[in-house]
Structure 1
Amino acid sequence: MVILAFDGVQLLDVAGPAEVFTTANRFGADYDVRVISGTGADVVTSSGVRIGAGTAPAGLPRRLGTLIVPGRSDWPAAIRDEVTMAAVTGLAPRARRVASVCAGAFLLAEAGLLDGRRATTHWQLAGDLARAYPKVRVDSDPVFMKDGRVLTSAGVTAGIDLSLALVEDDHGAEPAREVARQLVVFMARPAGQSQFSARLSVRDAEHPVLRAAMDAVTGDPAADHATERLASRTGVSPRHLTRLFRAHTGLSPGRYVESIRVEAAQVLLEGGSGSVEQVAAESGFGSSETMRRVFQQHLGVSPTTYRARFRSTGRAASRSAEQSDAEHPRA
């Protein structure tokens, strides 16, 4: 387990994964976690904290399990660092899997490791990544994603989510769950979970008509929020309301309502009370089958799987939940 550090790196990009993997060793894992730098010298993080690098790439074994590449907010400076880039390009072929945290995706892209792959990064940097590396299929929404042996993650804390998922891949759900408990973090944010909150976007809505419509939806997700009804309540035509939503949120009114209902259902499922059918009714979906279809579209998992993942970090719970879904498709 190699974490590549360099001057200007974000401290939590390095410390978060390191804590996950070293903590996992207390619960049956056997990770040899090494923080290195391109030269083997100490590095100074973006917060001014000095990190002691144990070695340079030449001091590592020939074969590596995982290479984690963190990021720095000034990503152009990171990719211009010839020593660091040489470490990435030299170590990546030797690793069974390669992962980036936040702006570390730019270093992977610069090395050609993301060409033709789906990748994510911090939402504020996604546009930069797409423009700078057109061969990369950038998705700004997920917390983390996997494409082949390469994984990428969003903002700094998403590196913890990614690391927990890797622990589960390697050692199963129970050790990963124990690590999450020890570190007092959520036991699961699914890979497909969005970086964004549709509920919070109402705070940025400056147009009074749009804000009134968004307030109505967030205030009662289960109400009738057909575009025609929303338009009537806010005193504009459906066409004008649709233009406002698209101009200010990038979504149609219907898509915004759907996003709010997904978030409302997530909260209810995370709470663990009530059946899936009850959650569907309270969040405005009407039926569990409708909610199941929308969850698959938005999150890539079913509601039952989503609920199970808050008792685990991913695969083991997913298999159990998917089996339940297959046996009880409308449960």
Structure 2
Amino acid sequence: MSLIPLLVCDDSNMARKQLLRALPVDWAVSVTQATNGREGLEAIRRGEGEIVLLDLTMPEMDGYEVLAAMRAEGLSSRVIVVSGDVQEEAVRRVMALGALAFLRKPADPQELADTLKRLGLLGAPGVPPVPVASLAETTVGFRDAFRETVNVAMGRAAALLARVLKVFVQLPVPNVNILEVGELHMALADAQRGERLTAVCQGYIGEGIAGEALLIFHDSEVADMARLMRWSSSEYSEMEMLLDLSSVLIGACLSGIAEQIDVVFSQSHPQVLGAHAGLDDLIQVNQRRWKKTLAVEISYSLEGHDIHFDLLLLFTEDSVELLSHKLAHVMN
């Protein structure tokens, strides 16, 4: 009996592990894993991906580029996209590029099984089971596990932002690092690129997991953002517009993380930090309170507009152990 070549293509160890655990236990497949789109495309060319479970946000080559290359080369793999980017436009684009279905991360085992069955991809009944669970037993490190958690939350926040602004939000692979405050200073310096910045700051805490979110705008882009937000009233200032936008984006991202780790975050009121200020003013608040931080950086871009802004989630040192405990069930 021949096995169906299945390719799982995702840059996150945790995401691949979750997908492998979600596969039907009696599905007769041979599994190949790829850590980015370029690796995935090469595996498809080798015939290792008759069926492909494909992520969208990846380094080297993203899922959109993989689908476009498959179409250009006439590759006939059957693709199901499994992504944290749940924007309506993202779904429309991948289906237009030839994907057969779209599932949101983390994939629900029953939804995945139903989708495979609906598409006729499970094979004939009575096929002897071939266990794939052993492939999903690798240990996942904290940084990878938390990066994937942020990736899912980032996608949900982007979907909300896309609806509010009526744009397509281009998503990066989020950066997750434990930084000394001095290193954070350098990271912000890189984000600044010689421009003046305006940042909105909002604190959060839940079950001892605490930190601050910084949404950083380049001053040159604030007016463009205001136009997108349909800011026109003289009684509605640019600062109020930024506070409203920050509440939407920060709140949605924190909510997405909280849902996955089963906590409820209480959030302080957002406030403008260092309006029209340089870098040094932005770092002073955190420098007085802790020496290290678990820093999450997400750089959003709006397609068709020269608008980019950075969301930094800065978790306290004490939060790392608590987050590790919350993620233990997916890391092991």
Structure with more helix by fraction = 1
Higher relative contact order (CA 8 A, sep 6+): 2
Structure number having the greater strand percentage: 2
TM-score, with length taken from structure 2: 0.33
TM-score, normalised by the number of residues in structure 1:
0.34
